[in-house]
Chains A and B, each alone.
Chain A
Amino acid sequence: GQNIDQPTEMTATEGAIVQINCTYQTSGFNGLFWYQQHAGEAPTFLSYNVLDGLEEKGRFSSFLSRSKGYSYLLLKELQMKDSASYLCAALDSNYQLIWGAGTKLIIKP
């Protein structure tokens, strides 16, 4: 079966760095997405990785290891507005997104 695993909840301090991990098992693989979702709102796109390695975009970076079925989202210089759920989603062989349950990130002052 297809499966995405990510931690349910994480807590970090404002100004610090946090890494949210995601492991996936899918039938075929065409890339991995990270989305941010604030409570009561729709998800917004953060990143897309299809090749191994690290993609940096401002304070956010995303890493992929296809051989390990593993990705992480790295958030630097955390701000209170970064408190949200972070969704990992893998694109399978049919180009359908397989969603993780999301990681709720709580930022404390």
Chain B
Amino acid sequence: GAVVSQHPSRVICKSGTSVKIECRSLDFQATTMFWYRQFPKQSLMLMATSNEGSKATYEQGVEKDKFLINHASLTLSTLTVTSAHPEDSSFYICSARSSTSGDIYEQYFGPGTRLTVT
């Protein structure tokens, strides 16, 4: 089956620093990758959608200068949280959509990254 990896799985950083999270599709090409944030006991919140080779589309209320997304290849997307603050502490999950024709547009999820900003 389609596998998506995320790195790191957990990260603790100090307020004001930047953190980069990687999302990789291991055995398929992903034309589109999605970045979600999930606070405790809440559902997934889509932050942005990125297509390979183009700028990401951010959801309303998500600061694009704070959450930098780069989808440089068909297997890698990165999310950089710049000048992180404690309120950015959350569970960040990426997902990837296969470019295979006939796909049911299922999103394959990475295992998530737990970010804690102190």
Contacts and interface: CB of A to CB of B under 8 A. Distances in A.
Interface of A: 30-31, 33, 40-45, 48, 50, 87, 91, 95-97, 99-102
Size category, B interface:
10 to 19
A100 B110 contact: no
A87 B45 CA distance: 12
B44 A87 contact: yes
A101 B43 contact: yes
A42 B93 contact: yes
Contacts of A97: 34, 46, 107
Q: Is the interface of A mostly helix, strand, loop or mixed?
A: loop
Contacts of A44: 109
Contacts of A31: 104-105
A99 B43 contact: yes
A41 B91 CA distance: 9
Contacts of B91: 40
Given A31-B104, A91-B105, A42 B110 contact: yes
B49 interface: yes
